[in-house]
Structure 1
Amino acid sequence: MKTDVGRQAEVLKLHLVDGVSIRAIAKRLHMSRNTVRGLVAKRPQPRRAPVEPRTSLLMPYEAMLKQLLDDTPELRAPAVLERLRHEGYQGGVSILRERMRRIRPREKEAFLTLRFAPGEAVQVDWADFGFALPGIPRRVSAFVMALCHSRYLYLEFALSQSMGSLLRRMENGLRFFGGTTHVDIFDNMRTVVLQHTDKGVVFNTTFLDYARSRGFAVRACNVRRGNEKGRVERPIGFVRERFWPGRRFTDLMDLNVQAVKWRDDFANNRVHEVTGKVPALVFQHEEKQVLRPLSSARFETDELEGVGVTKSFRVRFDRNFYSVPPGLIGQQVVVRANDDWVRVFLGMKEVACHQRGWSVGQDIELAVHRQAALETKPGARKGTLSPVLQRMGDIATRYFKVAAAGSKSLQRESVRLVFFAEVFGTSATAAAMEDVMRSGHVGADYVEYVLRQKKGLVPSAAPLRLGQPELDEISLSEPDLSVYDTLVPSSRMLVADAVEDAP
């Protein structure tokens, strides 16, 4: 009986040397195919010869390169290349840069745990949550303020990160805390930090004025230094992980109602994972009483923007359009807006006030502005329609009321519609006007298309035009000729009279 070693040798010979398949080997040696596969898999693997390290043009200068980087770690690859050229190096800068990246001495930066006294600082930042509101094409942002000592949190969602929106959120947060800290620390949001320079940070002057009015200093985090804003970054991550997943809401107000309840019932009353304390209790007993009192000075938090009034008596603000009195067309006005209202001013006088729209491309119009615009259109005034159009009744009035708000020539519309009434008939033209308005349009071209193409009507000859409106607009009813029968004797009576008169 063959040993296992002998059986494996025979199997390997048949498989590797003779090229016999697994199935044929199993049949020939009376083994199962799995046994044959196992013996083949256990064959000894050949040892690979050690690979000789690749040589490069830089290898003879390795020691010199290390010495240069030890002496001057900040040396860049082009400067090192200049030094090695003098020693005979013939390679390029790419291989040199790659090698320097591997051997340059690096010191691991030590991060100190930042400690803040009660009432010393608060960290502030925005966090983007994407297009989260149903039917509103605007990104939702979370405004987060976190007191650095107690980790007490203020959270509010908004649809804009503009200066006005930031200032209103700041006001809400300061009132929530009941005071201000000595310094507010911000990430590099564009409404606070304009740029970092060699001489320091350039801040937005509007925000500095606000900080001065509220009595706190402003500090900006260094660029790409996440460790400097951990007090607010961790709460933002906490909101993403614990509040946001699976959340359902109908609008921004509903979202903020849920956020307030979660913030006050859970976030500020949990045991903090770093301090091991409850933020609400630490705030209540250690930090609240040392906050600076809020200033009563009023600061403008509305968004202000100077715009021009278009020929459609609209002003454009924040990607939406708002109506104003049509008498302001072509003038410059000031738009003042907060989270709820958009007001328009001409000088010191408020000329329009709208509820703010938070969609995009909305056209928000007051009925009084449309009515004022219609009154400036002669064709839309009562009694100015031609008699032919007046006979159409309410449809003509409604048609020209809509047309007066557009840019079409009302005189041309009137002339063409009168012509259609004459050649196609008044009732057919009125019905065509109704069909056109039902499709959302006005215009004589549409009316003609309905008459000719959809209804298939053929125009008949138009009446003679004299060129004088007082004559062309005369409308006479069809005369009743039967009255003449009582005045003219019948032919039979005339014959009888003639017979009697004959001699």
Structure 2
Amino acid sequence: MTVLKELCRCLLRTDLSHRQIAQKVDRSPSTVARYSKRLRTLNAQWEQVQPLDEVALDRWLNPAKTGLKKLFVEPDWAYTHAELQRRGVTLALLHEEYALSAEAGVMSDTEFRRRYHRYARSRGLVMRQVRMPGHDLFLDFSGVRPSLADPQTGQRTPVELFVAVMGASRKTFAYAVASQKSVDWIACNAKAMTFFGGVPTYLIPDNLKAAVTSISRQDGPLLNMTYAEFAAHYETTVLPARPRKPKDKAPVEIGVLLVQRWVLARLRNRVFFSLEELNQAIAELVDRLNQRPMRSCGGKSRQQLFEELDAPALSPLPSTHYEYAEWKLKVSVGQDYHVAWEEHFYSVPHRLVGSKVNVKATRDAVYVFHRDKRVASHVRSRVVGGCSTLPEHQPPAHRAYSQDTAEHLMEWARQQAGALLAFVQRHGEVHRRPVLTLQACRGLQRLAREHGMDRLQAACDRALRAHANSVSSVKSILMRQLDRVSPTEAEAANEDTLPAHENVRGAHYYS
């Protein structure tokens, strides 16, 4: 019961003297006498006083107190707070400007300062968050970094310290990596979930480039494609903290501070030459941190709270490990229907020239996606400036030209076999110039397209029997359709007797 209500109760329900009531409520006897007179004037009963709260009772008994308050013109405190951040601006200047702009009801400089400070305190209100078990895993890198020493020179190289904290239990994980690049970030996330033995509902990282590509006012954060694919593999959701809002990830901010004090401070005088050695020392100290009792949680440790709260609520880890892959988004396909990855060029279907595609690269392969559909798959090559082209991606003319090489031409001849292969082989033996033989193969390919392979085989057979060694001979046989005439008929046609003539001399002339 409040002091004022207790004072009224004693006056209305007891027969204590004013001095005794004053001692009981720690007020002066004159104050008790004043309220006693006021209650008699109002003819007040305890039943009227009992339901009133302190403020309502004070207004009822002391109406002049509120009536004498002066009404001031309230300034725009948000504008005042913003202007105060500018260089050279003071509260005295802002009060002067406020006094000039208000015609009446101007508050004094003291009242102005008092009300501004009350407003400023209201801006710093903090909401206590209740974290659901297994719901949030907070992720961040430490601003204070450990370092590795070179065994020969002793030169120190800073490395990054990754920290992950479960929301409900505050169980902490720390791991040192070489950088904040995507490959190290993904490895840290995977090791953290293996450490906790399950997958949380949400991953809450900071806005580093390995996690968030960009942030727009309309669409919010755009996740790094590799990180988004990683989250999909683990069947979890990424909810990045707002930029410049560290309270969104307060557990990991506290976790980072604890790791800096509990781990890095204890390792400050030790020298490490490898990440493996450093991480082994970090793991030992983090384990001690998680086993340490917390007075604010009834003496329970982070590990005990984790086993009670977070562990039962985590989803199981996937059966397969995530295969790290990097992405390039919205890559334009050039006129050569190729896209580049690390200065090597990979083909896509020629119909996609001018389109935007997404390129995904794993350790052993490169994939190209168009509208979420895979349109190309290549073995990854490390040859700088090289080109990986699949024949099915080329237009027919390009495919024919690219296959018009010595290996392809000779392979074509070997596949046809028969008289055609024999003709090509004899052509090479006779002319002894490979360039001419390749040109002959191209000519034979054209004749095959014009007359068909069966007629071409028959024409090559006739040319071989006639000891003809040129493609023009084969073409002449096809044009005259001699390939369709049997050899005996052709010989008979060649044995026709000469007609009688006076100018024709017989064999007897030469004898």
Q: Is TM > 0.5 for Structure 1 vs Structure 2?
A: no
**Greater share of residues in helix:** 2
TM-score (norm 2): 0.42
Bigger Rg over Cα? 2
